[in-house]
Amino acid sequence: MTGSTALQTDRYELTMLDAALRDGTAHRRCVFELFGRRLSGGRRFGVVAGTGRLLSLIRDFRFGEDELRYLRDENVVDAETLAYLEDYRFSGTITGYREGELYFPGSPILTVEGTFAEAVVLETLALSVMNHDSAVATAAARMTIAAGDRPLAEMGSRRAGEDSAVAAARAAYITGFDATSNLEAGRSWGIPTMGTAAHSWTLLHDTEEDAFRAQIAAHGVGTTLLVDTYDIRQGVETAIRVAGTGLGGVRIDSGDLPIMAAEVREQLDSLGATGTRITVTSDLDEYSIAALAASPVDSYGVGTSVVTGSGTPTAGMVYKLVARQDSAGGWVAVAKKSTDKGSRGGRKAAFRTLDRGTATSELVIVSDGFETVATASEHPDARSLQVELVVGGEIDAVNEGAAGVTAARAHHAQVREELPVRALALSRSEPAIPTVFTDAE
């Protein structure tokens, strides 16, 4: 089955399924929840990303002949389980935070409802996507906060796995990056792409001037010339001499960037190139971007730090069973009690309380069982955070593809305006707002 995602899972998901089919618990209705116990890296907020990707991957979660043959040959499950998997289709319901939404410790980011059999096997796939993409999105959001109105380009593909690079570009764009260097991300998700030349282009030519002339001949004077292959000051002089004062931009990829940016700006202005923009790259992260706030920089290119979550490569989310039917068909809340790894049982409804448009808390209302819990009408001073993503196995396609990315980007920009000022600081701290749990009445 070409394109199946069914084996992108841990073996124990299927061995649990195998045993559950034997003892009759496989078809018990269950509620699983994906959440983070804490915000990784001392971050003050998190950003939900990967939802649209996950929904498409669930659509392709099918066991075809190749997948079933592998499971049979490796004796992973028995014949009864193979027969079940042959017809597997997720027929349950998934509700969750919209992609681009902010989250905090304990936020019920995804709630997966269905039989144990059909919901448990999605655990690994859901966590793989949401942990990676949300970590990148959270780091990228901090970078866009540090950059202010200056544009940011994601250019970290060579520092990540080939598929992770595309996912990272997508997550960064949702949280405010303006472009990516990755063409597959552009094709798949509708993200603007950018890129001109590397140092190898300059080194290919006999002189820096030859390289600049060739680039301008190919791309026009609006291009951006990389001026630090040899001597930056000489590079800037050559760039303006070749392109004229209408040169679109220069890029600096080395040196003490605040000092270099100031010197290059002064030199450009003295040469009459007052409209030539300065882009800086060179291992930037949110802290170095913030340090450049007072420098005459026009845009940033960020690589390694954004695609690796700026030192926090996973969001630390977990996927836990929180409610199930018992042997008599009644609903019970269940929870893990382990030290430092506990969960909170029950189905949940989530709201963000606001005071004159500023977030004050994450309000999570917990139901012991499965019944419908609090609605938005009961909390007029709060914003409901959950939406239906899958209903009766039918995926809401509005969240998928390039259109889903555009919607997530717009939603993130909107909800980030709700953050209190303390959330915008880059230092390690407690979450910007508390998560308040209360029982349903």
Residue 372, pLDDT above cutoff 70: no
Q: What is the CATH number of the domain that holds 425?
A: 3.20.140.10
| Domain contains 2 | no
Residue 352, pLDDT above cutoff 50: yes
Are residue 301 and residue 316 in the same domain, yes or no?
A: no
Domain that holds residue 256: 148-307
Last residue of a domain, one of 307, 322, 344: 307
Are residue 325 and residue 434 in the same domain, yes or no?
A: yes
Q: What is the CATH number of the domain that holds 196?
A: 3.20.20.70
Round to whole Å and give the CA distance between 38 and 32: 18
Are residue 348 and residue 413 in the same domain, yes or no?
A: yes
Residues in the chain: 441
Q: What share of the chain is helix, strand, coil (3-state, %, to 5)?
A: 40, 20, 40
**Helix, strand counts (H, E) of the chain:** 15, 19
Round to whole Å and give the CA distance between 175 and 190: 15
Round to whole Å and give the CA distance between 21 and 179: 48
CB 129 within 8 A of CB 50: yes
Round to whole Å and give the CA distance between 25 and 427: 47
| Domain contains 141 | no
Residue 365, pLDDT above cutoff 80: yes
Instruction: Tell me how many domains the chain contains.
Output: 2
| Domain contains 3 | no
When pLDDT is cut at 50, 70 and 90, the band that residue 3 belongs to is: confident
Are residue 274 and residue 331 in the same domain, yes or no?
A: no
CB 177 within 8 A of CB 140: yes
| Domain contains 5 | no
The reported pLDDT for the residue numbered 1 is 37
User: How, if at all, do strands 277-280 and 299-302 pair?
Assistant: parallel
Are residue 162 and residue 229 in the same domain, yes or no?
A: yes
Residue 328: which residues within 8 A CB-CB, separation 6 or more?
none
Are residue 275 and residue 189 in the same domain, yes or no?
A: yes
Last residue of a domain, one of 307, 334, 358: 307
Round to whole Å and give the CA distance between 126 and 106: 17
Residue 153, pLDDT above cutoff 50: yes
Are residue 255 and residue 323 in the same domain, yes or no?
A: no
**pLDDT (tens digit per residue) in 398-420:** 999 999 999 999 999 999 999 99
Are residue 68 and residue 202 in the same domain, yes or no?
A: no
Residue 158, pLDDT above cutoff 80: yes
**pLDDT (tens digit per residue) in 69-81:** 999 999 999 999 9
The reported pLDDT for the residue numbered 14 is 98
Query: Which candidate, 420, 414, 416, 411, places its Cα nearest to that of 97?
Result: 411
